[in-house]
């Protein structure tokens, strides 16, 4: 199995999973890069996975479905034209053409119905967990997004994390403000700067790395509690409060 990032718009990745002559795409905001890749590699689309309803994740569905009338999986709690296999938390998805099985993890916060797709070793998490950061809260509450991220952070450390945007460098620069002394983060930031200078993605990340470098997964760290409390202007008493203050600070930063 190979997993390929197809760049779209200014900073989206449409993840394409291929095995044999078959492929699955996650969050095709634009059909053009997907159709081009399928044609150039003589692949047939087997299914589409959708994490949430935003246009940069679903916009390519009509054009893709016109060419490939395949099953489209997506969150039951969001009305998305084209989704014909609605999913709830802990549902299973199996895509026989690729010998792939996913478990659905409900991760509300960025949107209320947002779901992630997990198969051992791989997590497709849309706009919930980013490398070094997390999604903005558009529909949910900070407590919801914090709980969603805790669930993802509890997956095995080696799990590869396929986020839907290339936001790593700005995220890590914010992380530096939130937690100035973090040697692992500094080393990783230098590596990501080299990757971006070479025009390469910084993704996938991994759950283990995110636990080390991502301030939004480190809200229990005393150093982060301190900086977040300073920003909030009052003492923060627990990880959910630290998370809410960090998210608020990042919106302003
Ligand atoms: Zn989004
Ligand atoms: Fe997005």
C-alpha to C-alpha distance for 15 and 18, rounded to whole angstroms: 10
Average the pLDDT over 216-224 and give the result.
98
Q: What's the predicted TM-score (pTM) here? A: 0.98
Average pLDDT in the chain:
98
127 is catalytic: yes
**26 to 107, 127, 130, 154, 233: CA distances (angstroms):** 16, 12, 15, 22, 41
Q: Is 54 labeled as catalytic in the residue annotation?
A: yes
Annotation marks residue 57 as catalytic? yes
* pLDDT band, very low/low/confident/very high, at 253 (cuts 50, 70, 90): confident
* 103-157: pLDDT as tens digits: 999 999 999 999 999 999 999 999 999 999 999 999 999 999 999 999 999 999 9
In angstroms, the CA 191 to CA 203 distance is 12
Asked if 214 and 236 count as a contact pair (C-beta separation under 8 A), the reply is no
Question: Distance from the CA of 127 to the center of ligand 1, in angstroms?
Answer: 5
């Amino acid at each position: 199995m190979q997993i390929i990032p197809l760049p779209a718009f200014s900073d989206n990745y449409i993840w394409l999973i291929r095995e044999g002559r078959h492929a699955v795409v996650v969050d095709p905001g634009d059909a053009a890069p997907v159709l081009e890749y399928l044609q150039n590699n003589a692949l047939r689309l087997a299914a589409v996975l959708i994490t949430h309803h935003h246009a940069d994740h679903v916009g390519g569905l009509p054009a893709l479905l016109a060419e490939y009338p395949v099953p489209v999986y997506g969150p039951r709690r969001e009305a998305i034209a084209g989704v014909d296999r609605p999913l709830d938390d802990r549902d299973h998805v199996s895509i026989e053409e690729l010998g792939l099985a996913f478990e659905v993890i409900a991760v509300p916060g960025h949107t209320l119905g947002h779901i992630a797709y997990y198969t051992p070793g791989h997590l497709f998490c849309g706009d919930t967990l980013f490398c070094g950061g997390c999604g903005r809260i558009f529909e949910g509450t900070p407590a919801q997004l914090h709980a969603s991220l805790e669930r993802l952070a509890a997956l095995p450390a080696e799990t590869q994390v396929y986020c839907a945007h290339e936001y790593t460098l700005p995220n890590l620069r914010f992380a530096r403000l939130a937690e100035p002394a973090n040697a692992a983060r500094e080393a990783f930031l230098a590596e990501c700067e080299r990757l971006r200078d070479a025009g390469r993605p910084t993704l996938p990340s991994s759950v283990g790395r995110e636990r080390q470098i991502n301030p939004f997964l480190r809200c229990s760290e005393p150093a982060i509690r301190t900086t977040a409390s300073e920003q909030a202007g009052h003492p923060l008493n627990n990880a959910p409060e630290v998370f809410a203050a960090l998210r608020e600070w990042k919106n302003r930063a």
